[in-house]
Structure 1
Amino acid sequence: MFYPGFSAEDKVRIYSVFGGIPYYNRLIDDKKSVKDNIIDLIASSGARLENEVSGYLNAEISKIINANEVFEALARGYSRYSDILSQSHVSSGPTLIDVLDKLIKMEVVEKTTPINDSNNKKKVGYYVSDNLSLFYYRYVFKYLSQLKIMDPEVFYVKYIEKDFDEKYVPHQFEEICKQYLIRQNRAGRIEPVIEKIGKYYYDNPKEHTNGEFDIVTEDEKGYVFYEVKFRKLPVSKSMIEEEIAQVDKSGLECYKYVFFSKSGFENVDIEKLEKIEINALYE
């Protein structure tokens, strides 16, 4: 099991940066804090993995500046083709398609569609699937000049700490929970077996609402909605009821609702609800 010396929370934090790559895992010191591992390995001048991302991109892609531009847009959360094109300032559509195709073949970017609208090209999304690349382009690449002249602790606090704790890790926790569901499904521990998993697109003209739910599964009984919470306080009944009401309002009909929580749950007893705490992911 990855990182045996860390708590379940810190396993999520460290995995969200280094993923499951064996080489990176061998460099992680579980006697140090998550912050110190990040500083020592990727977020300081001369860090062990400082040139890891740019190194393998240079080896695979001739026009590296285009890859850098695309990665920066993806790392900032732009996932639609048109948004990536406008935010990355890549010279043309065909050039962007070429870069995205190469990154997909390298398995550092993935192309996804909603499970309920898989043939709609307008709903295609592109996401960085390699954790170290995502971290590097979100926090390190655009501040390389500052990294070379600043104290690593000061750099971490100024450019990484707040966003990492409040946005980056909670988002990565969603992917970790999704991978947990896939592992459980492959092992035959989910009944009925999941046949589709991914985002779900909704468009409800009556309520004037549209958008995506990040994790929804489909099986022979119908849809299951998943909500992932990486927060300091336990998940409350009112919070769960609010999320379920939002799902119902969207028009998505689910036969079950599953909530993952870092900090557990208050005393909640709601029909069709399943609760999963963070420690279950590492049992």
Structure 2
Amino acid sequence: MSFMEHQVLGYKSPLYGRKTGQFKIRPFDIFGTKKMLPKVNNEDLLAYYGITDGIPQYLSFIDQTKSVEENIQEMFLNQNAPLQNEPNVLLQEELRKPATYFSILNALAHGKSKSTQISQAIGMSSGSSISAYLNNLIDLEIIERKQPIFENSPRKAIYAFKDNMFKFWFKFIAEAQDQIALERTKGILIGIMDELPRFLGPVFEQASRDWLWQQDELPFYPKKIASWWGNNPIKHRQEEIDVVASNHDDSEAIVGECKWRNADKLNHEMIDTLIARAALLPKVRKTYSYFFVKESTDNFEKYAREHNVRVVRYEDFFE
């Protein structure tokens, strides 16, 4: 993709200025993924959305008659599986010094998010030295630079995976290549399935954003949907809001908490926390609270209604 953009369509190309149109193919959102995998139940659908990033080619590798566990084995863990070494191959095709990019992505997959943290993790002398590498990964849409919505302070910027297939691979598959070569992957697969619900937490946040973009009956049409994090001056700690949608002039916002967990893990305190965090948003004069859940209970939803919080269950996404 980057070869086409920079070499074929770029400024120095003979074709520059002669193209009559340009169309960039995007990954599917959760709803496009659903259309491509109509026989898959909705819970498994989120897993497939997460491990493929909604890329149509990768979704085509999924056998809809098999379990998530079986598909992960056949897509990633078997020798010569279609995605066993996919990110490594793509990095070598697209970038010079692929080993440096590999190290950066490995650091990201293991919790490093600031440029200085990544630099230290891979042995670079300073954050400024790494910026060119990070920018190249951003251009390839493998990672993204994120800031809290409504804020522009560079000090709060973090880096995160934009491509969830890359994230999944670097978190679970990159360090398993020796075991894959020896066909000793049972323990690897057990570890993946144990960790998968936590991996899917941020994927559910993205699916919740997908749902918001699809709605015609929100309090307003969103201009932007992102996240927010910042200091709580009362509790003297960092707070985070998973999903924040702003209106045209940032005076109103939809705030959302996302919980990909069983209903028995939900409690009233989570509702109270969301309401308290909404009050921390800068600029915003009016907020609307949403709570996105894997599943819910009547008691939880009753408490939410009493506090003007709308509960949206994952199954509601597809109605």
Does the pair score TM above 0.5?
Answer: yes
Q: Which runs of 5 or more structure 1 residues have no equivalent in the other structure? A: none
* Secondary structure in 2 matching 1:207: coil
Quote the residue 2:178 is aligned against.
145
CA distance in 2, matches of 1:236, 1:273: 14
Q: 1:215 to 1:77 in 2, by over 3 A?
A: farther
Give the match's secondary structure for 2:69.
helix
Following superposition, the deviation at residue 50 of structure 1 comes to 1.2
User: Are the equivalent residues in 2 in contact too, given 1:114–1:199 (CA < 8 A)?
Assistant: yes
Q: Which has the larger radius of gyration?
A: 2
Match of 2:289 among 244, 250, 257: 257
Compute the displacement of 1:42 (Å). 1.1
Q: Percent identity?
A: 24
Q: How far 1:198 moved relative to its partner?
A: 1.2
Establish whether residue 175 from structure 1 lines up as the match of residue 203 from structure 2: no
Give, in whole Å, the separation in 1 of the partners of 2:41 and 2:162. Answer: 24
Asked if 1 retains the 8 angstrom alpha-carbon contact of 2:225 and 2:243, the reply is: yes
Shift of 1:205: 2.8
Find out whether 1:207 has 2:239 as its counterpart. Answer: no
Q: Distance in 2 between matches of 1:191 and 1:206?
A: 29
**Aligned mate of 1:195, from 210, 218, 223:** 223
> Counterpart of 1:168 in structure 2: which amino acid?
F
User: Does the C-alpha gap of structure 1 residues 91 and 265 become closer, same or farther in structure 2, counting only changes over 3 Å?
Assistant: same
Shift of 1:94: 4.3
Task: Name the counterpart of 1:136.
Answer: 169
- Counterparts of 1:70-219 in structure 2, within 5 Å, are 70-90=104-124, 92-117=126-151, 119-157=152-190, 159-165=191-197, 167-184=198-215, 188-219=216-247
SS in structure 1 of the partner of residue 144 of structure 2: strand
SS of residue in 2 equivalent to 1:213: strand
TM-score scaled by structure 2?
0.79
Of 63-72 and 242-251, more deviation after overlay is shown by 242-251
C-alpha distance 236-214 of structure 1, shift in aligned 2 (>3 A): closer
Q: State the 1:234 CA deviation.
A: 5.0
Give the structure 1 partner of residue 318 of structure 2: 282
Moved over 4 A (4+): 234-237, 248-254
Change (3 A) 1:201 1:131: closer
Superposition RMSD on alpha carbons, in Å?
2.2
- Quick one: distance in 1 between partners of 2:112 and 2:298? 35
Report the counterpart of residue 247 of structure 1 in structure 2.
277
**Residue in 1 that maps onto 2:255:** 225
**Bigger relative contact order (CA 8 A; separation at least 6):** 1
